[in-house]
Chains A and B, each alone.
Chain A
């Protein structure tokens, strides 16, 4: 175990042994029985944890990530990344459950979406969470990005994190675009038609990109299935993988101190100042 691994937090450390005493004060019937049981249970739990740890070596990794030191001055703005992650997880979970009722077929999509809202138990709530959650996620991403920019947290050595974050932003916007079509009502149909034709307006390559999005030259059955597959499988998979890389770098490099914090000269040592 490296020296950098933080020590176990207080509540996980084994308690020091109590001084032996034959008579518990004020309790004559079973002296220290509850204490003994508690101790035994603690030992058993410790055994299970030890068994897992011996085989996976997870404890130092978890300890390094959960109990690592953060810079002085860390504040609520630093929770925006976690908030975005939470929004993504909530989108993923509600999305999976919506997919249990949704049918990506041009003649069934609208009816199945209406069925979710009007008939399925709590369907309106789950669909609403997914629909509003998408907006919340995009707002949170921009706030997270603004925090990173204003605090200068994109600078050396965190450039890769910034770049991955930009790709994640674009992918999330692509999620918004592909998801907008799925209710398949008039608004989503025409909005997506306009969005695809906007892509077609780029010279030379544009019409080909539009053909790829539609799965042909006209908006039809293939287009809805395509948007559904992109929205369900390809883009979320990419987002999850990139979030993994983003978090790995956070764990490796740590967070930046806020820019208004002066270097602690005492901590740096007199000779290095």
Chain B
């Protein structure tokens, strides 16, 4: 340890001339071979990035744009709906996907005596059939006044709140409005167990307590 050579003697000399490199110039710090190697790597990197980054952006693009239809969809005249029973209607969830882009929505009038006051600004309750467990299509059963999911046995009550099974939050809803006596539905929104509104989350995403911070809103909804 004591006879360790001083640090300075191990350091590479600053100038190529001191290294004894062939054809070195006065004041040159990088050999031409090293410069060529670095240059070739840099050019190759730039060329790869030139096609790689746009291709990656192309594949990831849909993550950052809202692809859900933002127009209001006509669901029929107000006289079709009551506040005691749901009426099924067909709506477009995604444009340009044909039959596969359609889904059922259950609509009824907002019942001010029975419904939670939180959502009384919407004249109609439009319940999405997308189960909050893993996205299977739920069905409304009038006799029991409940929504039931065929896949894993999720059960929701008349308001769409979880009553049994694995779902983690109530059924999603859609914004509603009335124009010239006709009911229209707009964008989807999610709810937590107190029926507080959130921007759309995927099925299986919890929205109660601290869970809501683990499933933040994302740019595609």
User: Which residues in A have some Cβ–Cβ distance to B below 8 Å?
Assistant: 106-107, 184, 189-190, 193-194, 196-198, 200-201, 203-204, 206-208, 210-212, 214-222, 224
Per a CB cutoff under 8 Å, which of B93, B94, B98 touches A107? Answer: B98
Question: Using Cβ atoms and an 8 Å threshold, which residues of chain B touch A210?
Answer: 202
Distance in angstroms from B192 CB to nearest chain A CB is 16
Tell whether, in the assembled complex, residue A197 and residue B68 are in contact, meaning their CB atoms are under 8 Å apart: no
Could you tell me the distance between the alpha carbons of A218 and B214 in the complex, rounded to whole angstroms? 20
Choose among A193, A194, A206, A216 the residue that contacts B62 (Cβ–Cβ < 8 A): A216
Q: Considering the chains assembled together, what is the distance between the CA atoms of A215 and B61 in angstroms?
A: 8
Q: Least Cβ distance of A205 to chain B in Å?
A: 10
Within the complex, the shortest CB–CB distance from A211 to chain B, in Å, comes to 5
Complex contact B67–A197 (CB within 8 A): no
Q: With a 10 A CB-CB cut-off, give which of B63, B68, B202 has the most chain A CB atoms.
A: B202
Given contacts A190-B136, A211-B220, A217-B66, contact A197 B97 (CB under 8 A): no
Shortest distance between the CB of A253 and any CB in chain B (Å): 32
Per-residue 0/1 for B60-79: is the Cβ within 8 Å of any A Cβ (1 yes, 0 no)? Answer: 10110111100000000000
Interface residues of B in 55-111 (CB under 8 A from A): 59-60, 62-63, 65-68, 93-101
B136–A217 touching, CB < 8 Å: no
Contact check, A194 vs B96: say whether CB atoms are below 8 A apart: no
Contact assessment for B134 and A107 in the assembled complex, using a CB-CB cutoff below 8 Å: no
Query: Residue A106 contacts which of B67, B98, B220 (CB distance < 8 angstroms)?
Result: B98
Whether B151 contacts A194 by the Cβ 8 Å rule is yes
B214 touches A203 (CB 8 A): yes
Taking A221-B97, A221-B100 as known contacts, 5 extra A-B pairs with beta carbons closer than 8 A to each other, sorted by chain A number, are: A194-B134, A197-B134, A203-B215, A204-B214, A221-B98
Chain A nearest Cβ from B104, distance in angstroms: 14
Inter-chain contact total with CB atoms closer than 8 Å? 100
Of B151, B200, B215, B216, most buried by chain A (CB within 10 Å of CB) is B215
Residue B135 at the chain A interface, CB threshold 8 Å: yes
Q: Are A218 and B67 in contact (CB under 8 A)?
A: yes
A65 CB to closest chain B CB (Å) equals 33
Mask of B198-221 contacts with A, CB within 8 angstroms, 1/0 = 001111110000000011101011
The answer on a CB contact under 8 Å between A221 and B134 is no
**CB contact under 8 A between A220 and B97, given known A204-B215, A207-B202, A207-B218:** yes
Residues in A whose Cβ lies below 8 Å from that of B136: 190, 193-194
Beyond A190-B151, A197-B135, A207-B201, whether A106 also contacts B97 by CB under 8 A is: yes
Output the least CB separation between A106 and chain B (Å).
5
Partner of A211, one of B63, B134, B203, B215: B63
How many Å lie between the Cα of A107 and that of B99 in the bound state?
Answer: 7
Determine whether the beta carbon of A211 is less than 8 Å from that of B204. no
- In the bound complex, how far is the Cα of B137 from the Cα of A172, in angstroms? 29
B contact residues around A215 at 8 Å (CB): 62
Distance (whole angstroms) from the CB of A214 to the closest CB of chain B: 8
In the complex, which residues of chain A have a beta carbon less than 8 angstroms from the beta carbon of B67? 216-218, 220, 222
Q: Which residues of A contact B94 (CB under 8 A)?
A: 216, 218-221
Specify which chain B residues have a CB less than 8 angstroms from the CB of A184 in the assembled complex. 100
- Report yes or no: B98 in contact with A197, Cβ–Cβ below 8 A: no
CA distance A220 to B100 in the complex (A): 7
Is A211 a contact partner of B218 (Cβ separation < 8 A)? yes
Which of chain B's residues have a CB closer than 8 A to the CB of A208? Answer: 63, 218
14 pairs of residues in contact across A and B, judged by CB atoms under 8 Å: A189-B100, A190-B136, A197-B203, A201-B205, A207-B202, A212-B60, A216-B62, A217-B221, A218-B67, A219-B100, A220-B95, A220-B96, A220-B100, A221-B100
Alpha-carbon distance between A218 and B220 when the two chains are bound, in angstroms: 9
A258 to B59, CA, bound (A): 47
User: How many angstroms from the CA of A214 to the CA of B65 in the assembled complex?
Assistant: 13
